Structure 1
Amino acid sequence: MARPSKPLISRDAAVKASIEIIDDEGLDGFSLPKLAKHLGVRAPSLYHHFTDKNEIFVEIAKHIAGATVVTPRRRPGPEWPEYFVALGLNFRQSILRHRNAAPILLQHLPRDLFVATYEDTAQFLLDSGVPTELHVRILDGMETLAIGAVLMEAMRKPSTKSTIFPNVDPESQPLLAEALASNELTQKMLFEETVRSFLHGVIRDHM
């Protein structure tokens, strides 16, 4: 398809408009013609910035899972796990703000998205007294844990403390039903405690 001589929109504006459409209408409601209309341009204008829809999806994933995630302001020290707890919660908040985009993140999130920040994070761990041989275990584990847990949560309907496990039958699953009735943690609190347990477990196992 022929491209206009000058770009009429910015790449960033197109990504943000795409997210707005997906937030409002769901992933099935998104299309390049609809995006062009939303931006007030003709579809060929999009080809100044993107070769196809998949490239837009990659940029959406980068924006939601990377650019909009707030980095905590914490100094290195013995309470270093709380930096990762806060970062994980910020990541979770950014993803859940755009639940309709969860399938995009699942398929198009670049594997190297977080690598650019890992040098600074490794320095933070080193300055906190965390042995170098644990850094990869912590960074890779946090990436796997956060992405897996948050995307799985985003793909489901929002839950309450009693519906974290849906469709539990008290008659055929009495122990699970009792566990849910006794649970005092929200989904957010469960995620927070899971991250904290993982980090403290890494250190404990190393001792």
Structure 2
Amino acid sequence: MALERETVLRTALRLLDEVGLDGLSLRRLAKELGVQAPALYWHFTNKQDLLDHLAVFARQEAGVSLGVTPEAGQAWDEWLAGGMRMMRRGMLTHRDGARLAAGNRPVREAWPDIERTLSVLVEAGFEPADAIRAVLVLGHFVSGFVLDEQRGSEREDDPMPALDPAEFPILAAGGAAALDQDTLFEYGLQRMLDGMRAQLATHEESAADGSGGELPDGTRA
């Protein structure tokens, strides 16, 4: 019976949870599937190609889709924030999920979903280049945040020390609340969206007065 790509990816995802990204090798995967390593090259050119596809497969298994368009009447920023929250939950579903996502490049099958995502931002008024930059930077924020989150979970038996309010009044007053992961993620996400909102408003104002929104270096506002 021919080895199916989905079988390979599903097995690789299970191994990722069991041994982590560093322990996931083509040789180990082949052994788990009961085949020789060269058999995997029918589907993937090398380990990085496998990981690129595995990142997409992991998102799909977690119910994360980049191609979901806004609901009727939903604002672009609310829709985008929801997608980033979903992406975070998807990465947290699997061991080393952030490392897997951070190191991948989109595979051909993912391009239609990415195009649909970008089209929402372009329709909202962003230039195509700015839409691409925004999606990339937001993705970097999410993967970086989850990377720190997953590494931090490895230190749950090493709690933060209690702080003396007399010596560190600001840290003592705001430390516990500020370090809540959900609150911290939302804070960072909203500040990045604030920047996108401001950029869009500047572009719309420039378009209205006919200046075109160009900055001194020739780029668009």
Q: Please give the secondary structure, in 2, of the residue aligned with 1:9.
A: coil
**TM-score scaled to structure 1, two decimals?**
0.71
Aligned equivalent of 1:110: 105
Q: Alpha-carbon deviation of 1:176?
A: 2.1
Cα distance in 2 for partners of 1:34, 1:78 equals 46
Cα distance in 2 for partners of 1:56, 1:125 equals 30
Q: Alpha-carbon deviation of 1:198?
A: 1.9
1:92–1:150 Cα contact (<8 Å) kept: yes
**TM-score scaled to structure 2, two decimals?**
0.67
Correspondence for 1:85 among 81, 88, 91: 81
Aligned equivalent of 2:172: 177
Q: Please give the secondary structure, in 1, of the residue aligned with 2:125.
A: coil
The AA in structure 1 aligned to 2:65 is V
Correspondence for 1:198 among 192, 201, 212: 192
- CA offset digits 1:67-99 (Å, max 9, x no partner): 752355533646321111110011111111113
Q: Alpha-carbon deviation of 1:173?
A: 4.7
Answer yes or no: is 1:21 the counterpart of 2:15: yes
- CA offset digits 1:37-88 (Å, max 9, x no partner): 3223333322322343333223223333577523555336463211111100
1:81–1:196 Cα contact (<8 Å) kept: no
Aligned equivalent of 2:27: 33
Structure 2 unaligned spans of 5+? 203-221
The AA in structure 2 aligned to 1:153 is E
Cα distance in 2 for partners of 1:43, 1:112 equals 22
Q: Please give the secondary structure, in 2, of the residue aligned with 1:109.
A: coil
The higher-RCO structure (CA 8 Å, 6+ apart) is 1
Regions of 4+ moved over 4 Å: 65-68, 111-116, 171-174
- CA offset digits 1:133-186 (Å, max 9, x no partner): 8635533432332233233323332789xx9xx6456146553233123x1773
Change (3 A) 1:39 1:140: closer
Aligned equivalent of 1:8: 2
Q: Please give the secondary structure, in 2, of the residue aligned with 1:156.
A: helix
2:20–2:96 Cα contact (<8 Å) kept: yes
Cα distance in 2 for partners of 1:150, 1:194 equals 12
Aligned equivalent of 2:119: 123
Cα distance in 1 for partners of 2:70, 2:47 equals 38
Aligned equivalent of 1:3: none
Change (3 A) 1:78 1:138: farther
2:145–2:185 Cα contact (<8 Å) kept: yes
2:59–2:90 Cα contact (<8 Å) kept: yes
1:36–1:43 Cα contact (<8 Å) kept: yes
Cα distance in 2 for partners of 1:116, 1:155 equals 32
Change (3 A) 1:103 1:118: closer
Aligned equivalent of 1:4: none
The AA in structure 2 aligned to 1:62 is V
Change (3 A) 1:144 1:105: closer
Cα distance in 1 for partners of 2:193, 2:72 equals 15
1:95–1:150 Cα contact (<8 Å) kept: yes
Cα distance in 2 for partners of 1:80, 1:159 equals 37
